[in-house]
Structure 1
Amino acid sequence: MDHQHALAQKGFTILPPVYDSAAIRHIIKTIERAGTGNANFRRTADLFAIRRVLQEIPALQSAVFTPALLRWVHELFGPSYFMVKSIYFDKPGASNWFVSYHQDLTISVNTKTDIAGFGPWTVKEQQYAVQPPLHILQNMFTLRIHLDETDENNGALRVIPGSHRKEIYRAADIDWQRETEETCCVSQGGVMVMKPLLLHASGRTTNGRNRKVLHIEFCNRELPVPLQWAERININ
């Protein structure tokens, strides 16, 4: 099954390694050199995360949006997409942090306003998130760039193939008599591409190895005025 067909039918695909070891070291060092003094940096015993990481650390943009990555984006989706969200996760080797099955149903925007089809809203530390109309979610995709090798023992995503085609699909409604689960093991430097409506989960780390991932979302739809994407970056 080729990558485009896999995305359409299963809701995800795993690309071969896009970044070599030198590129990965450069990305990690760039993140480590950044300050951690504002609210977008979160560190606990179970997780280190940076929201809006490509905005907080602009030097990462050239390291991440390499010609090799952009070739894949253009091949799979065309030239009209732009970045709308970026998050860095580092799940430590001793982490007990896990995420149960869910879809990614919200987008990050610049303000809160009453617009038909947008809601419910969440607001945290002056950052606004909202569930948009379905057609926006259906025209989004996510790249998960793996800076560590990831398997079932250090938090690899578990997914329900094809669940993205069922629109809003709550975890409580999963029919395990009909659905199957697949674990998405990704090599270091590899990239998992997925649709936000794909049901996905991740488990605790059991092998003592870290899992560092850059999670980057893209869309090709503009938002109705006065809404704007909170972290829009053109990649072409």
Structure 2
Amino acid sequence: MSKHGDLKAILEQEGFAVIPDFFTKEETAQILSVITNADTTRPTFRKAKDLFAIRQFLKEIPEVTGKIFNDKLKNFISEVFGNKYFVVKSIYFDKPGQSNWFVAYHQDLTISVDRKSEIPGFGPWTTKQNQFAVQPPLELLQGNFTMRIHLDDTDENNGALKVIPHSHAKGLYRPETIDRNIETETICNVPEGGIMLMKPLLLHASGKTTNDRKRRVIHIEYSSSNLPDDLNWSEQYAIF
């Protein structure tokens, strides 16, 4: 078995996995350099005191794709998941060092698509910043995975994700029903250059920053599913 051969099994069982030191410091610096030099005036760039975010990140800054999807990452995805997956969503998050922004426990239940269409099993629908989002059938979400590329050392003091292991296997799991006597919480510390894999249905949250350190993360969602009735992903990038 190759060194990454058991990662998919861990991801399916636990709902998440952390691979430290995947990108070198030089590689993360190159990625950040491209982001720093980008034009931030477009509407998909969200700027606030507590957050700077770029939606449709790979589409907005195409120069960064070669830095992220180098041979090492493409070989990793192929080895762990196969060659049928493609990117369906990408967001860059920059959580400033003094941010008081936090996210409560939730599952990632929606996908981003190009338009609204009445399709059985798809709904409810929402629209944010001219982007259509819909909750698809659970089977579609269960086949997807998310990758978070960390460009800073991240721990419980600057917004590392907190997760409930195995919660992805329980279908729709409302945060208010979490039984703290049964469930355990894990804090996913990830060093600079590390990546975190997670299933969309995994319950996860993040806290406020308390140590005055930045937390910059590239969030990428992958799928191998085609959408029905000529519905299209709002963002799609072929890895292979």
Shared fold by TM > 0.5? yes
Distance in 2 (alpha carbons) for counterparts of 1:119 and 1:221: 17
Q: Which moved more, 1:111-120 or 1:32-41?
A: 32-41
Q: Cα distance, 1:8 vs. partner? A: 1.3
Residue in structure 1 matched with residue 143 of structure 2 by the alignment = 139
- TM-score scaled to structure 2, two decimals? 0.96
Distance in 2 (alpha carbons) for counterparts of 1:100 and 1:125: 22
Distance in 2 (alpha carbons) for counterparts of 1:30 and 1:105: 31
Tell me if 1:31 matches 2:35.
yes
Tell me if 1:211 matches 2:215.
yes
For residues 40-96 of structure 1, the C-alpha deviation after alignment (integer angstroms, 9 at most, x for no partner) is: 101111000000010000001101111111122112211100000000000000000
Structure 1 segment 72-83 matched on structure 2, within 5 A:
72-83=76-87
SS in 2 for 1:59: helix
Q: Cα distance, 1:211 vs. partner? A: 0.1
Q: Cα distance, 1:38 vs. partner? A: 1.7
Q: Cα distance, 1:226 vs. partner? A: 2.2
Q: Cα distance, 1:6 vs. partner? A: 1.6
Residue type of the alignment partner of 2:92? Y
Aligned with residue 92 of structure 1, among 93, 96, 103: 96
Tell me if 1:6 matches 2:10.
yes
Residue in structure 1 matched with residue 68 of structure 2 by the alignment = 64
Q: Cα distance, 1:4 vs. partner? A: 2.3
Residue in structure 2 matched with residue 154 of structure 1 by the alignment = 158
Structure 1 segment 82-121 matched on structure 2, within 5 A:
82-121=86-125
Distance in 2 (alpha carbons) for counterparts of 1:46 and 1:24: 22
Distance in 1 (alpha carbons) for counterparts of 2:80 and 2:198: 11
Distance in 1 (alpha carbons) for counterparts of 2:182 and 2:129: 41
> Where does the alignment leave 5 or more consecutive residues of structure 2 unmatched?
none
Residue in structure 1 matched with residue 236 of structure 2 by the alignment = 232
Distance in 2 (alpha carbons) for counterparts of 1:41 and 1:146: 19
Q: CA RMSD in A?
A: 1.1
Q: Cα distance, 1:138 vs. partner? A: 0.5
Q: Cα distance, 1:193 vs. partner? A: 0.4
Distance in 1 (alpha carbons) for counterparts of 2:110 and 2:100: 25
Tell me if 1:202 matches 2:206.
yes
For residues 121-144 of structure 1, the C-alpha deviation after alignment (integer angstroms, 9 at most, x for no partner) is: 001232100000111100100000
Distance in 1 (alpha carbons) for counterparts of 2:40 and 2:20: 32
Structure 1 segment 167-186 matched on structure 2, within 5 A:
167-186=171-190
Say how many residue pairs are matched: 236
- TM-score scaled to structure 1, two decimals? 0.98
Distance in 2 (alpha carbons) for counterparts of 1:40 and 1:213: 16
Tell me if 1:126 matches 2:123.
no
> Where does the alignment leave 5 or more consecutive residues of structure 1 unmatched?
none
Q: Cα distance, 1:39 vs. partner? A: 1.4
Distance in 2 (alpha carbons) for counterparts of 1:118 and 1:20: 40
Tell me if 1:165 matches 2:169.
yes
Tell me if 1:15 matches 2:19.
yes
Distance in 2 (alpha carbons) for counterparts of 1:76 and 1:183: 24
For residues 133-174 of structure 1, the C-alpha deviation after alignment (integer angstroms, 9 at most, x for no partner) is: 111100100000000010010000000000000011010111
